[in-house]
Chains A and B, each alone.
Chain A
Amino acid sequence: MKAYLDNNATTRMAPEVLDAMMPFLTERFGNPSSFHSFGSGVMEEIEAAREEVAALIGAGPEEIVFTSGGTESDNTALLGGCAINPLKPGLVTSKVEHPAVMVTAKRLRDGGAPVEFAEVRGDGTLDMDSLGALVSGRTGLVSLMMANNETGVIFPIAEAARMAHEAGALLHTDAVQAVGKVSVNVKSMGIDLLSLSAHKFHGPKGIGALYIGDGIDLPPLIIGGHQENGRRGGTYNAPGIIGLGAAARLAREELSGETDLTGEMLRRMEKSILDSCPGSRIAGGKAPRLPNTSTVLFRGVESEAVMTLLDIEGICVSSGSACSTGDESPSHVLTAMGIDPREANTAIRFSISRYTSQREVDHLLEVLPPIIDRLRKISPYAD
């Protein structure tokens, strides 16, 4: 039996999304920028999708720019945000950002910009004192993820936005893991720039959006055509955009529902794991977290060994392991939380979605304890 528990990596596309996209992958192939109505008719659908995306995050449609996904949105926000005002070239971000932000921040720093990385606390929450100390008059942009991809810990973006605005800086949030899973409102949270990606909430891959608050003249990253009012060049990815729009509509419907089925499923799963694998703990377990993400530290067992055995059982999960990615060092997120490299390499991330069935979770709960037990038997660190 298969159990897909790696929804923070990517999600299953909703059938409604595929249905919405299909005409634009087949008969309706016209270029939305064309004069003829065969093409320009597609533009109307794109504008409808734009409204859906805007509605999901409480923005106006004219504030939404379609991109190729989260990484492009992050790149555009950081490189552009630090270039708006030459007197404010500084960037303040955190130590636990996704590589799309982290690597861009380091590039900016290497180019001579003042770039600072705020600390997180042991529970994965943002250290607001550290952030406050780093934001200065030279700061042009504060970029903080809304929810962490590894731990699911949610940052207080509204508070960070107030801090940024007091210093005359803009606030960008990489909300790739948050959008579609929790309610987001750019206006009430004071967000100036926001990155989102369709495939994290049952939309297609290769499409995302950057919210650019009204009045912000953000220099574009991709230049060329006049698309998106010159804010992002390149032929419209019509099927992708339509798919993103459909996914946004479904996510909004889901979030407006009263019951949090995903959250309940996750809480039950966590409790079962901790009960059946004693000596394990959840990274950021006490912090405000996404309702779908849980990173468990299984004392004494290396995560890639666990993943290899789970894979044989058809269970898809993920880890911050150094070995599995071919990277030299363990998860920068967990080590920033003060977890030592060895313990960081015991982390397994389980991420569910609204399509996760109880059967999948039950399959995991049946298979996991003997795997942990078996690896602990040959581990020098099991006690």
Chain B
Amino acid sequence: MWKYSKILMDHFMNPRNSGQLPNPDAHSEVGSPQCGDAMTLDLRVDDQDRISDIRFMTFGCAGAIAAASALTELARGKTLEDALSITNDQIVEYLGGMPEEKYHCSVMGHEALTGAVADFRSRKERVRRHLEELMKDPPEELHRELTRCRPELVHVHPSRVVLRITGSEAGRLRDVLERELTARVGRKMEVEVSS
């Protein structure tokens, strides 16, 4: 048996934030080809780029499971930028130390987080692209709406866009945009309007 700390054993026996999220805003899967360990990570991210929910699944030893659990605890509530700066040493320290031979087990969590953040950014970029295309070359119905009011982009999110619209037709425009965007992005999109 490895000499695991009490904290590490607690995270192994009672992993925090294990599982999966329905329709996550970001997802990643990483694995170590040599030892076969693998991990998935799901994120829910709010409009301030803050991780509001995080879930992991791990195929790995006690060290790998505890490290994934610790990572989710450290990352939850942080902005993506801050979460990315979590180091392996911080994970190991959080767990009250880890046998040196097991350090590589903590690496996977960091890789999974990096992957999830990259996934979040590319999903976001994809929504932005679809939105731009939609605005540039709108179908007839939308075109009609857009001639009445011109929305200003406030925020893009993988499942949500926030627009600032002035005018009384805002509600109708939102419905049309939401339908068109959902069809193009391929997942349920919400359009929020603020005035």
16 A-B pairs, CB-CB below 8 angstroms?
A: A301-B59, A302-B60, A302-B64, A304-B62, A308-B1, A308-B4, A308-B61, A322-B35, A323-B60, A323-B105, A326-B101, A328-B34, A340-B36, A378-B56, A380-B58, A381-B59
Whole-angstrom CA separation of A284 from B13 in the bound complex? 32
Decide yes or no: A380 and B59 within 8 Å by CB, A305-B65, A308-B1, A311-B1 being known contacts. yes
- Do A342 and B36 form a contact, CB below 8 Å, given A308-B12, A326-B101, A378-B19? yes
Of chain B, the residue at the smallest CB distance from A345 is B36
Could you tell me which residues of chain B, from 34 to 92, have a CB within 8 Å of some CB in chain A?
34-40, 56-65
Give the contacts of A60-80 with B (CB-CB under 8 A).
Answer: none
A343 nearest CB neighbor, chain B only: B36
Mark each residue of chain A from 279 to 314: 1 if its CB lies under 8 Å from any CB of chain B, else 0. 000000000000000000000111011001101000
Q: Is A240 positioned at the interface, with any CB of B under 8 Å from its CB?
A: no
B1→A378 contact, CB < 8 A: no
Shortest Cβ distance from A308 into B: residue: B62
Residues from chain B with a CB closer than 8 A to the CB of A345 are: 35-37
Question: Is B36 touching A380 in the complex (CB atoms < 8 A)?
Answer: no
**Interface assignment of A85: CB less than 8 Å from any CB of chain B:** no
A342 touches B1 (CB 8 A): no
Q: Does B180 contact A (CB under 8 A)?
A: no
Chain B: number of interface residues, binned into ranges: 20 to 34
Q: Provided the pairs A301-B59, A305-B12, A379-B58 are in contact, do residues A342 and B38 lie with their beta carbons within 8 angstroms? A: yes
Contact B34 A322 (CB under 8 A): yes
A109 contacts partner chain B, Cβ-Cβ < 8 Å: no
Within the complex, the shortest CB–CB distance from B166 to chain A, in Å, comes to 47
CB of B192 within 8 Å of the partner chain: no
Other A-B pairs beyond A308-B62, A321-B61, A326-B101, 10, CB < 8 Å: A302-B60, A305-B12, A305-B62, A308-B61, A322-B34, A324-B61, A330-B35, A378-B18, A380-B57, A380-B59
Digit string of A330-364 for contact with B (CB within 8 Å is 1, else 0)?
Answer: 10000000001111110000000000000000000
Is B22 in contact with chain A by the CB < 8 A criterion? Answer: no
CB distance from A257 to the nearest CB of B (A): 36
Q: Is A329 an interface residue (CB 8 A)?
A: yes
Check B37–A323 contact: CB distance below 8 A: yes
CA distance A344 to B33 in the complex (A): 12
B interface list, Cβ under 8 A from A: 1-2, 4, 12-13, 15, 18-19, 29, 31, 33-40, 56-65, 101-102, 105
| A300 x B59 contact (CB < 8 A) | yes
Min Cβ gap B42→A in Å is 11
A144 to B58, CA, bound (A): 38
- In the complex, what distance in Å separates the CA atom of A322 from the CA atom of B60? 11
A377 at interface, CB cutoff 8 A: yes
Given contacts A302-B60, A302-B61, A308-B1, contact A380 B35 (CB under 8 A): no
**A290 to B167, alpha carbons, bound, how many Å?**
82
* Bound: A308/B12 CA distance, A: 10
Contacts of B18 in A (CB 8 A): 377-378
Q: Give A313 Cβ to nearest chain B Cβ, in Å.
A: 12
Residue pair A380, B61 in contact (C-beta under 8 Å): no
- The closest CB in chain B to the CB of A301 belongs to B59
In the bound complex, what is the Cα–Cα distance between A301 and B15 (angstroms)?
15
Q: What separation, in Å, do the CA atoms of A301 and B60 have in the docked complex? A: 7
A118 to B61, CA, bound (A): 32
Q: Mark A158-187, 1 if CB is under 8 A from B, else 0.
A: 000000000000000000000000000000
Determine whether the beta carbon of A378 is less than 8 Å from that of B35. no
A169 and B65 alpha carbons, distance in the complex (Å): 51
**A303 and chain B: residue at smallest CB distance:** B61
A304 to B57, CA, bound (A): 16
